[in-house]
């Protein structure tokens, strides 16, 4: 029996889809059977990030409306031998095409076959959100170090705490820019974690490669040397129950010249 984890944030554009794709990929790299479920009906894009868009035949609404069986709609990622699947969202309907009970039934069915079901939640707190959390047993809240994103994360955590079938949510702080954080121009990790008072499961640095990889339909987690990739892999290991220390996001050691300047207090 698998675990269903919903990836949510409240605010749009903080990286829910990227996070879903990469956590799914990282879990598959660890040898787990993973099914990604895109619940953003009408605005799907997890398939694009995964590079699976051109293989979609049926989608989530087809499954719910029983136009096909669940396995028929699942898109297999050939880069992973029978480990990673995607259930894409429909592009032609909207969020009201599905209700929470139908979603719960579907996720329960998927739990029989997969170790992890990663549910990518749409932005907002309306029907789409309710559908995404209906079948989940765990939740990960994604936020960025911005006041607006943290505010929405707080709201979402409040809503998630009311859902009795979901364990206390975990936090990912995404798109961290170490130099801004160091200068105090960005909320720092400790501040955000204290404010939201939930467990931190990972921090991810803002990295150009993430965008590049997404555009190529290749989740960054497949690249073993990238800083963000390591962050996602660490998160996957923490989901599996390992205890992995937080990444150090400080930039490389400053050169001798910088050290001397710092010594004399020159900026």
Partner 1 sequence: MNRKQNVTIKGTKDGLTLHLDDVCSYEELKKELNQKLTESSRSSEDRLISVMVHTGNRYLSEAQEEEIKELIRQKKNLVVESVRSNVITKNEAEKLKQDNEILSIARIIRSGQVLEVPGDLLLIGDVNPGGTVKAGGNIFIMGALKGIAHAGINGNKEAVISASVMKPTQLRISDSLTRAPDDNVEEGKREMECAYIDEDNQITIDRLQVLMHIRPNLSKLQGGF
Binding part of the chain for partner 1, among 45-53, 151-159, 219-227, 243-251 by CB under 8 A, reads 151-159
- Interacting positions 185-214 with partner 1 (CB under 8 A): 195-197
C-beta of 177: minimal distance to partner 1 in Å? 22
Alpha carbon distance 115, 188 (integer Å): 34
C-beta of 150: minimal distance to partner 1 in Å? 9
C-beta of 181: minimal distance to partner 1 in Å? 17
Q: What is the DSSP letter of 44?
A: -
Number of residues binding to partner 1, judged by CB under 8 A: 11
5 to 44: interface string for partner 1, x by CB under 8 A? ----------------------------------------
* 155 binds partner 1 per the rule CB under 8 A: yes
Q: Burial of 142 by CB count in 10 Å (0-12 exposed, 13-18 middle, 19+ buried)?
A: buried
Alpha carbon distance 64, 117 (integer Å): 17
CB atoms within 10 A of CB 237: 16
C-beta of 69: minimal distance to partner 1 in Å? 39
* 163 binds partner 1 per the rule CB under 8 A: no
| Spatial CB neighbours of 96, under 8 Å, sequence gap ≥ 6 | 127
Using an 8 Å Cβ cutoff, are 129 and 47 in contact? Answer: no
Q: What is the DSSP letter of 250?
A: P
Judged by CB under 8 A, which of 55, 79, 104, 151 binds partner 1?
151
Alpha carbon distance 257, 263 (integer Å): 10
Chain contacts with partner 1 (rule: CB under 8 A): 151-152, 154-155, 157-159, 161, 195-197
């Amino acid at each position: 029996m698998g675990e269903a984890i919903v990836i949510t944030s409240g605010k749009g554009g903080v990286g829910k889809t990227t996070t879903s794709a990469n956590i799914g990929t990282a879990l598959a790299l660890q040898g787990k059977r993973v099914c990604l479920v895109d619940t953003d009906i009408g605005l799907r894009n997890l398939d694009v990030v995964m590079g699976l868009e051109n293989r979609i035949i049926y989608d989530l609404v087809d499954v719910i409306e029983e136009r096909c069986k669940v396995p028929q709609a699942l898109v297999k990622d050939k880069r992973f031998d029978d480990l990673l699947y995607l259930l894409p969202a429909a592009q032609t309907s909207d969020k009201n095409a599905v209700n929470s009970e139908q979603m719960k039934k579907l996720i329960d069915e998927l739990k029989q076959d997969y170790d992890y079901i990663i549910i990518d939640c749409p932005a907002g707190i309306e029907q789409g959100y309710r559908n995404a959390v209906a079948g989940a047993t765990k939740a990960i809240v994604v936020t960025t170090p911005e006041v607006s994103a943290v505010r929405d994360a707080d709201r979402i955590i409040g809503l998630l705490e009311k859902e009795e079938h979901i364990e206390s949510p975990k936090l990912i702080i995404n798109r961290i820019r170490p130099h801004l954080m160091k200068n105090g121009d960005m909320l720092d990790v400790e501040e955000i974690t204290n404010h939201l008072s939930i467990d931190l499961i990972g921090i991810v640095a803002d990295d150009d490669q993430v965008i590049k990889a997404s555009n190529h339909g290749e989740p960054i987690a497949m690249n073993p040397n990238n800083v963000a990739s390591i962050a996602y892999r660490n998160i996957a290991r923490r989901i599996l129950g390992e205890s992995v220390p937080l990444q150090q996001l400080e930039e490389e050691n400053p050169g001798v010249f910088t050290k001397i300047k710092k010594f004399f207090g020159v900026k």
